[in-house]
Amino acid sequence: MPRFFMDRGEIGPGFAVLTGEQAAHARVLRLKSGDRVTLCDGQGTDYQCVIDQVHPDRIRLAVESQGSAASEAAVTVRVFMAFAKGDKPEHVIQKATELGAAEILLFPSSRCVMRLDGKSQEKKLARWQKIAASAAEQSGRGRIPIVQVLSSYEEAVAEAARADRALFFYENEETVTLTEALREPFSTVSLMTGPEGGFEDREVEAARAAGMTVCSLGKRILRCETAPLCALSAVMFAAGEF
């Protein structure tokens, strides 16, 4: 069924109106009166609608029911990724959205090569949020993941530690496995991974001191754009999402 994202504030009591690009998209799909569509408010609620009237520049929908978005994961997973070079952040934002992440938060760490200053940060963040919105639409998400840039490593660790399972992935960890870390039931998870150069020992200790579980992602060294997606897929599997 065709899905359209619409701000909750634009959805009236019992009706909604598609205009602009959304109306053009509906026309491309040759939607007509009586056809069913889903409106998503991007915050986890879906509205089941029927097309009521079709005009050249707007389409009026009758809202029949609403409920939690069926495509959203039962667990809330926040992906914390250290700044990485090139289009690696874009790649992870797109794939993590498809895989069901609730938030993607980027942060600086000692070995990050990429640095963001005020202006470039604003531009990058706008672009990253658009990538999340477009991936959410393509993958049929009911929620558009929030993309954030955190100002320091310390802020990232403090934020990541606030979860039932706060997992810090260290490439030199040889004891604690992801299987063990996910053995007990959980509803909120933080996944933290480092940049191309990995983490400094003192960064690992700071995460441990904040109560995060330092964890391995197996015997092979994954690239910084592979690790978050590997961890996210494993968490979704453990949560029964697949």
Contact 91, 81 (CB under 8 A): no
Site for ligand SAH in 188-207 (CB under 6 A): 193-194, 197-199
> Closer to ligand SAH at the Cβ: 52 or 173?
173
Least distance in angstroms from the C-beta of 198 to ligand SAH: 3
Let me know if 139 is exposed, middle or buried by CB neighbors in 10 A (0-12, 13-18, 19+): middle
217 binds ligand SAH (CB under 6 A): yes
- Helix (H) / strand (E) element for 68: namely strand 58-68
Half-sphere exposure of 70 (CA within 13 A, CB side): 7
Stretch that binds ligand SAH, among 8-16, 92-100, 134-142, 210-218 (CB under 6 A): 210-218
Q: Where are the beta strands (DSSP E) in 83-186?
A: 103-107, 146-149, 165-169
107 binds ligand SAH (CB under 6 A): no
Least distance in angstroms from the C-beta of 221 to ligand SAH: 5
Stretch that binds ligand SAH, among 14-22, 85-93, 217-225, 232-240 (CB under 6 A): 217-225
Contact 169, 87 (CB under 8 A): no
The contact set with ligand SAH (CB under 6 A) reads 169-171, 173, 193-194, 197-199, 216-218, 220-222, 224, 227
